[in-house]
Chains A and B, each alone.
Chain A
Amino acid sequence: MPSISRDEVAHLARLARLDLEPAELDHLAGQLDQIISAVAQVSEVAADDIPPTSHALPMTNAFRADEPRPSLSAEAALAQAPEAEDGRFRVPQILGEEQ
């Protein structure tokens, strides 16, 4: 049976860029363990020689004509930004002081 610890959930949350409260970690660890045990049933199916399906209807190379068409204006793109400055998205610092 698979099992997933609280520490693993915390690690996954870091990978997913998701702050979780200690209580959320406790709660989720138990639930995820149950869910993963249930979905692990897929391993019962003998499928070694079966190709995977990623999309219901296989389609490749959906091309469009290479013609200019209108796009969003800078104003429209910035209109819903949490913060904008000088016609750009304003974001928090990307590098720390010591970098």
Chain B
Amino acid sequence: MTESSLFKRTAAELAEAVAAGEVSAVEVTGAHLDRIAAVDDAETGVHAFLHVNREQALAAAGEVDAKRAAGEQLGPLAGVPLALKDVITTADMPTTAGSKILEGWQPPYDATITRRMREAGIIILGKTNMDEFAMGSSTENSAFGPTRNPWDLDRIPGGSGGGSSAALASFQAPLAIGTDTGGSIRQPAAVTGTVGVKPTYGGVSRYGLIACASSLDQAGPCARTVLDAALLHSVIGGYDPLDATSIQQPVPDVVAAARRGADGDLSGMRIGVVKELGGEGYQAGVERRFGEAVEVLGKLGAEVVEVSCPHFDYALPAYYLILPSEVSSNLARFDAMRYGLRVGDDGSRSAEEVMNATRGAGFGAEAKRRIILGTYALSSGYYDAYYGQAQKVRTLVTRDFEAAFEQVDVLVSPTTPTTAFPIGEKVDDPLAMYKNDLCTIPSNLAGNASASFPCGLAEEDGMPVGLHVMAPVLADDRLYRIGAALEQALVSEWGGPLLDKVPELETA
């Protein structure tokens, strides 16, 4: 096998090749590390990674090879490399959450999902770039410079998990982890032509996930194929006693659902197109590809109807009250005392002055905006009108979902109103930036499972478009059945995966 044939393969194929002894985990890992070295330059390349774990990755791969040689049974993703979003703690690598306030911070413990992946023999290549504390839709809010979209290096790769999505789309890793508070897995997946799944809230442990908004944050799998995402989901999912919001129920059989979906038969499934998520403000090429994808689902046997969720129009404003409120509280832990940055400690300044100076120097513009906004929304006198009212809207959004799921099995919409925009275009226009998450936010408020699947390129700019699928709480398997059915239909129509069309990157 040549190097390029290694890094272009799916996770399922790589794991099978490793298990069969056709290739070693060390060779697979080496091929991906070489690819990173070739295309990921911070100044001129994709810049998906903030930290690459070369020696440790090769050592972990060597352990997988040794286990295989000893005749041990390997897990279904053993020896497969992965790109880990830098908001998940790793005891052997720095974890910055894209913030200067945590630059160089080496966590004293592994997140639960980090541990589960290591135990499954997944090789963590390094940590991926992101908007600071997962706040943003473009990865431009990283303190360490933007990540570039492999489809067009002048455009954003989505956010906050733009490093993870870009790593997948530029073949630097076949698997990645994202976290989704308002769309940070699904929107980057949509704009890079990759697959991203936000599991049901509580379905994947948050222990070791640096909190953005605790009632909304959810880690999940990212990949280039639906089956690969399902395989990763089943490794990271399931009850964790270290997370008080973890669901004490088994993860739905997402791998079986992905395999079943690949048969291309959706008969018996009812799909609702959300009336409120389309029309004004949606790019023509996005609406066209979305409409065609829905037609494909109909041809595969699904029954398609239109569904109204009237309170979804208020999900975005409610989210931008709830999220900053939680952020202003969660980011209070960065106080310059126990870990992270400390500035101005000159022997004369008080602890409070050092704290104020450190937070002023350590947080970027978007983090500051949201801290101030959240502090305002929680202030006495405003609490009922803003935070309290937003929590009521949250109830109404959840009720819209419940009513819709009495009529249909899943809901669909475009993942994002537009394709990837040029770097710099919206970075200082918060309201324009926030609209990227219009379609993805309702599922964070309600906690149900959602995903984005590639559905083609918009004609006007040649950039990828995503189909957004929303399923009820704990019905994550439905996402995979729909996604896999759509994938097999579109791949056969296109004559290959969408990412066959991504431009060749210049290699160093």
Most buried by A among B107, B202, B357, B368: B368
Does B368 contact A93, Cβ atoms closer than 8 Å?
no
Instruction: Give the distance in Å from the alpha carbon of A81 to the alpha carbon of B342 in the complex.
Output: 9
Interface presence of B359 (CB below 8 A):
yes
- With contacts A16-B328, A89-B338 taken as known, whether A42 is within 8 angstroms of B314 at the C-beta atoms is yes
**Contact present for A79 and B351 (CB under 8 Å):** no
Residues of A contacting B395 with CB < 8 Å? Answer: 47, 50-53
For the complex, what is the distance from the CA of A82 to the CA of B201, rounded to whole Å? 34
Query: Taking the nearest CB of chain B, how far is it from the CB of A37, in angstroms?
Result: 9
Provide the bound-state CA to CA distance between A61 and B385, in Å: 29
Whether A19 contacts B321 in the complex (CB less than 8 A), given A28-B372, A43-B389, A91-B337, comes out as no
B372 near A47 with CB under 8 A, answer no
A16 to B394, CA, bound (A): 26
B356 near A38 (CB under 8 angstroms)?
no
Q: Which residues of chain B have C-beta atoms less than 8 A from A13's C-beta?
A: 372
Within 8 A of A (CB), among B410-451: 430-431, 444-448
Contacts of A96 in B (CB 8 A): 350
Q: Contacts A36-B373, A52-B395, A80-B339; is A42 near B350 (CB within 8 Å)? A: no
If A12-B372, A57-B201 touch, does A41 touch B314 (CB 8 Å cutoff)? yes
Q: Which residues of A from 1 to 42 have beta carbons under 8 Å from B?
A: 4, 8-9, 12-13, 15-21, 24, 28, 31-32, 34-36, 38-42
Interface residues on B, range: 35 or more
The 8 A CB mask of A48-72 against B (1 = contact, 0 = none) is 0011111111010010100000001
Known contacts A17-B359, A19-B356, A82-B336; A92/B202 CB under 8 A? no
In contact, B389 and A18 (Cβ under 8 angstroms): no
Contacts of A21 in B (CB 8 A): 360
B100 → A minimal CB distance (Å): 14
Which of B30-38, B240-248, B458-466 touches A? B240-248
B339 and A51: CB pair below 8 A?
no
Are the CB atoms of B350 and A52 closer together than 8 Å? Answer: no
Given known contacts A32-B369, A89-B338, A16 and B375 CB-to-CB distance under 8 angstroms? yes
Q: CB distance A32 to B376 under 8 Å?
A: yes
Chain A hits for B194, CB < 8 A: none
A80 and B318 within 8 A (CB):
no
Chain A residues within 8 Å of B405, by CB: none
The chain B residue with its CB closest to the CB of A79 is: B108
User: Which of A17, A42, A81 is B321 in contact with, Cβ under 8 Å?
Assistant: A42
Q: Is the CB of B356 within 8 A of A42?
A: no
Taking a contact as CB atoms under 8 Å apart, the answer to whether B317 and A40 are in contact is: yes
Interchain CB contact (< 8 A) of A53 among B202, B336, B394 = B394
| Residues of chain B lying within 8 A (CB to CB) of residue A18 | 356, 359-360, 363, 368, 371-372
Check: B497 CB closer than 8 A to any chain A CB.
no
A residues less than 8 Å from B356 (CB atoms): 17-19
Q: Does B475 contact A (CB under 8 A)?
A: no
CA distance A79 to B371 in the complex (A): 28
Chain B, Cβ-Cβ closest to A25 = B372
The reply to whether A20 and B368 form a contact with Cβ atoms under 8 Å apart is yes
Instruction: Please encode chain B, from 379 to 396, with 1 for each CB lying within 8 Å of some chain A CB and 0 for all others.
Output: 100000110111111111
Taking the closest CB of chain A, its distance from the CB of B129, in whole angstroms, is 21
Is the beta-carbon distance between A92 and B447 smaller than 8 angstroms?
Answer: no
Question: Does A44 make an interface contact (CB < 8 A)?
Answer: yes
Closest to B354 in A: A92
Q: Is the CB of A81 within 8 A of B339?
A: yes
- Does B355 belong to the interface (CB within 8 Å)? yes
| A12 contact set on B, CB distance < 8 A | 372, 375-376, 379
Q: Are A17 and B352 in contact (CB under 8 A)?
A: yes
Most chain A CB neighbours (cut-off 10 Å) among B317, B353, B359: B317
Binding site for B on A (CB under 8 A): 4, 8-9, 12-13, 15-21, 24, 28, 31-32, 34-36, 38-45, 47, 50-57, 59, 62, 64, 72, 76-77, 79-83, 89, 91-96
Q: Which 5 A-B pairs have the closest CB atoms?
A: A56-B447, A19-B360, A52-B391, A82-B342, A47-B392
Query: Interface of B with A (CB < 8 Å)?
Result: 105-109, 200-202, 215-216, 241, 244-247, 311, 314, 317-318, 320-321, 328, 332, 335-342, 345, 347, 349-357, 359-361, 363, 365, 368-369, 371-373, 375-376, 379, 385-386, 388-396, 398, 430-431, 444-448, 473
Given contacts A50-B396, A95-B350, 8 further A-B contacts (CB under 8 A): A17-B332, A18-B368, A20-B360, A28-B372, A47-B389, A81-B338, A82-B341, A92-B347
Can you list 18 A-B pairs with a CB-CB distance of less than 8 A?
A4-B376, A12-B376, A16-B359, A18-B363, A18-B371, A19-B356, A24-B368, A39-B318, A47-B389, A53-B395, A55-B245, A56-B215, A62-B246, A72-B109, A79-B108, A80-B105, A82-B336, A89-B337
